[in-house]
Each structure stands twice: as structure tokens, then as C-alpha cells.
Amino acid sequence: MIKKNKKETRSSKARSKIKNLKKIEELARIKNTGDVVSKAVQAIQNDTVRVVEDQVAEKYEFRYNDTNNFVKKGTFYHIHYTKYLKEYYMTSMSHDSILSRLIIRQKNFTEFGKYNKLNGQSPMHLNGYVPKPTVEDYKNGYMERHFARKSNQNSSPFEIHPADNGVSPLYTYITMQWKITGRKNIVNAFNKLQVLIASKTFLNIQRLLPDFQYYRGGGGLSAKEAVMKSLGISEKQIEKKIKSTTKTF
């Protein structure tokens, strides 16, 4: 008899628990269809630009906004980020206008929440950025690129500075590896795959990404370096030749 791996068993139980919770939530939603939707919850939902789902509460981590009682450990919740740069927490794995209840975090505050509270930050709008591959990037053969698109609009994506990645909840972000040296057929295939993966999030991102953008042949060498390499000439040899010629004159 084949014994099941303990990790597989735990994973199976977790999946089963999630399925059961989803069924319970659905039944509760049907039962409470006639209930009045909370105006506060509805207002937050209307202003939401991004949602983080399937979170699990720890002990004493939240209180219910309407009763002030602690939320039970293991309760599923989700996070709303609004266009006014506010962070709100509600019960249920994903948003449900009937079942979701507003809860208030008591501990384990997010970096976003801490920063927002200390700095009173205002909505941040990102600017486009044109990257410049470094010498190190060419040596490695790859560069990392970052893109963003406004979450609440059918807007086009654009490239951003690495430091701007994730700074504003008004945007959705992706990061990709971009091949810039090597055999052209391999570079082409790799970058096409990156575009295909990215297009699942940003449908029209291919317009920003020509297959050989920033590509440099010769293993990352400049045109001058590539010619010198093919001739078997080094920079030191050229410098030595120049010095010897100068001495002659």
C-alpha cells in the first residue's frame, strides 16, 4: 500500500477546507440576499483600484468594525486599495457585497499602511522611463524591466523606473527579464516568450517591446570591441602601439 506524503496530505486538506469555506460563503450569501448592503463597504468598493485576495487572519490581528469583537483566527479576508491611497480590510476570500464585513487591523501593519500613516501620502502618478542597459547587464546577458498600467482604466502600459515599481496602488505592475546578448535566434525566442507571458496581464504590451530592443551582438561587446575581438587585438596592444609610434616621432 502506497503511503501519502505528509505535505501532500496537508495540501489536500487545505484545498478541501477552502472549497468548503467557499460553499459556506455561497450559502450564506444566498440566505442573506435580502440584507441591506453596508454603505461603507459599498463606498470602499466603488473607490477600489486594487484588491489582494485570499488572506488569512491571525489571532488578535483584527477587530470587526461594527461590533469591536476580535476576528477569529483562520478567518479569510481581503484587502482593498482605493484611488485615495487608503487601505481597507474586509472578511471573505474575495469581495462579496453582502457577506464582506469591514474589519480593523490591530497588529502586523503592512509597509503601505505604516508609510501612509507616517507621511500622509497623496495619490502618486508615475512617469514613463527609458532604461539604459549597463555594462554589467551586457555581461550578464539580461536586463530587468518594469512596467505599469493604471488599474481602474483601460489604459496602455508604459515602462517605469525600477524604484517606482509598486509604489502606488493606482497601478498594476509587472517585471520581466529581457535578453540583450547571445545568439539572435535564442534572444528572439526568449524575448517573445517574455512578451507572451506579460501580455496575459497587459494585453498590448508587445507594442513597447521590439524583439531585439537593446540587443548587442558579440556577447555584449560594442561594434568596436567586436571587430577588435575578431582580429585578435586587445586595448592594451593598441595602447602599446600608440606609445611606440609616439616615441618614434
150/60 same-domain check: no
End residue of a domain, out of 92, 119, 146: 119
Residue range 88-121, pLDDT digits in tens: 999 999 998 888 999 999 999 888 877 777 766 6
Torsion sign (Cα): 90, 94, 95, 99: negative
pLDDT per residue of the chain (249 residues) written in tens, 0 to 9:
455 565 555 566 656 656 555 555 555 454 444 444 577 788 888 888 889 999 999 999 999 988 889 999 999 999 999 887 888 999 999 998 888 999 999 999 888 877 777 766 656 678 899 999 999 999 999 999 999 998 766 788 999 998 888 877 778 899 999 999 999 999 999 999 999 999 998 988 999 999 899 999 865 455 555 555 555 565 566 566 556 655 554
Q: Tell whether 103 and 164 lie within a shared domain.
A: no
Contacts 24+ apart (CB under 8 A), 23-28: 25/92, 25/93, 25/96, 25/99, 28/99
d(CA 8, CA 5): 5
**Is 218 among the domain residues?**
yes
What is this structure's pTM? 0.49
Task: Give which of 179, 163, 176, 161 is closest to 217, Cα–Cα.
Answer: 179
* Burial class (CB within 10 angstroms; exposed 0-12, middle 13-18, buried 19+) of 219: middle
CA 83-86-88 angle, 5° bins:
115
Task: Dig out the grid coordinates for 214 from the structure.
Answer: 537593446
How many domains, in total, are found in the chain? 2
Same domain, 93 and 178: no
